[in-house]
Amino acid sequence: MKPAFSTVACPDWTLTQIAQRAEPWGYLGCELRTFGYGAREFACDPALTAPSKTRGMFARAGLSVCSLATSIRYDEPVTPPLLGHLLDNERMVRESKACVDLAVQLEAPFVRVFGFEIIGSERRASAISRIADRLRMSLDFCRHSGVRLMIENGGSFSTATQLAEVIDKVDHPLLCAAYSLPVGAAAGERAEHAVNVLGERLVCVKVKDLQNGVPCALGEGDLNARAAVEAVAKTGFGGWIVYEFDRAWLPQGDADDAQHALAASAGKLYDWCGLSRDGRGTVGKSLV
């Protein structure tokens, strides 16, 4: 596996600060959280910086941009015309296309999206069909771009089995999967089962830890993150494993806490995955 971290840990840092601070931690990649062009929620939103500058500073720090993480979801119900005017039922498709364009410029291979909720009493098959139709429109835009859409488990699709329903319905080679270990565990799913279900479609695993509901460094919380990571490692999964320290969603966050969590968790990921590294975080032979 290839250790990476998400910028949800450091929403008030610039990309320059992230690159400078991350170099000694040893991660191989960074997942950049984006809200799209014009958004100001994160100082490190890649849409705010020239992609060539981001690529250069990350390359010097030994980091790959492993993915762009968005909050785009495909579950909104179809809205009928109102007073003769067509309402916007394809906004998420346009947002996806803009993020794919940004990923191309950053040389990021994946854009993370969600299916998310089945609304009200809607039949599951109907909801999945609507989500799949919109995903296909976005995926057609990915052709010849070098970028794939990466759908992550959550909401009504919290397990790998549920996520696979959507992926199978879409049936497109440019759709792959990200799997959040804590989301799957909360739904009663074992990590090794999820990896087996998703198979080659799985390109990214997400991991976090919480202490009394508050984000913390891996191994310092209550989620038994080590067992989950070791279970994934034993399957032979070779994609990205991304540590999420969800400081961005806290009412208050301490920058020192983020630096501690990111630095400490890098070492834990290498240990738990059975990987060796040199001073710049190069992965050696797996020990598992």
Q: Is the pLDDT of residue 227 over 50?
A: yes
Q: Is the pLDDT of residue 161 over 80?
A: yes
Mean pLDDT of the 223-243 span: 97
pLDDT, tens digit, for every residue of 47-64? 999 999 999 999 999 999
Q: Is the pLDDT of residue 280 over 70?
A: no
Mean pLDDT of the 215-234 span: 96
Determine the angle formed by the axes of helices 160-170 and 191-198, rounding to 10 degrees.
Answer: 10
Which carries the bigger pLDDT value, residue 286 or residue 266? 266
Amino acid at 114: F
**E strand or H helix at 58:** helix 51-60
253: pLDDT confidence band, cut at 50, 70 and 90? Answer: low
Q: What share of the chain is helix, strand, coil (3-state, %, to 5)?
A: 40, 20, 40
82: pLDDT confidence band, cut at 50, 70 and 90? Answer: low
Q: What is the DSSP letter of 12?
A: T
What residues contact residue 8 under an 8 Å CB cut-off, 6+ apart? 33, 69, 244, 245, 246, 247, 248, 249
Mean pLDDT of the 41-46 span: 94
Per the prediction, the chain carries an average pLDDT of: 91
pLDDT, tens digit, for every residue of 130-159? 999 999 999 999 999 999 999 999 999 999
285: pLDDT confidence band, cut at 50, 70 and 90? Answer: very low
**pLDDT given for residue 257 in this prediction:** 87
Which among 33, 6, 38, 39 has a CA at the least distance from the CA of 22? Answer: 6
**pLDDT given for residue 266 in this prediction:** 97
From first CA to last CA, the distance across the chain in angstroms is 11
**pLDDT given for residue 287 in this prediction:** 30
**pLDDT given for residue 36 in this prediction:** 87
**pLDDT given for residue 63 in this prediction:** 96
**For the range 136-144, what are the long-range contacts, defined as Cβ-Cβ under 8 Å and sequence gap of 24 or more?**
136/170, 136/172, 137/90, 137/93, 138/92, 138/93, 138/96, 138/97, 138/100, 138/113, 139/170, 139/172, 139/174, 139/175, 141/96, 141/97, 141/100, 142/100, 142/174, 143/174
- Domains delineated in the chain: 2-77+90-273 (3.20.20.150)
pLDDT, tens digit, for every residue of 93-129? 999 999 999 999 999 999 999 999 998 899 999 999 9
**pLDDT given for residue 38 in this prediction:** 80
Q: Is the pLDDT of residue 251 over 80?
A: no
Determine the angle formed by the axes of helices 15-22 and 255-273, rounding to 10 degrees.
Answer: 50
**What is 171-237 written as a DSSP string?**
--TTEEEEEEHHHHHHTT--HHHHHHHHGGGEEEEEE-EEETTEEE-TTSSSS-HHHHHHHHHHTT-
**pLDDT given for residue 281 in this prediction:** 42
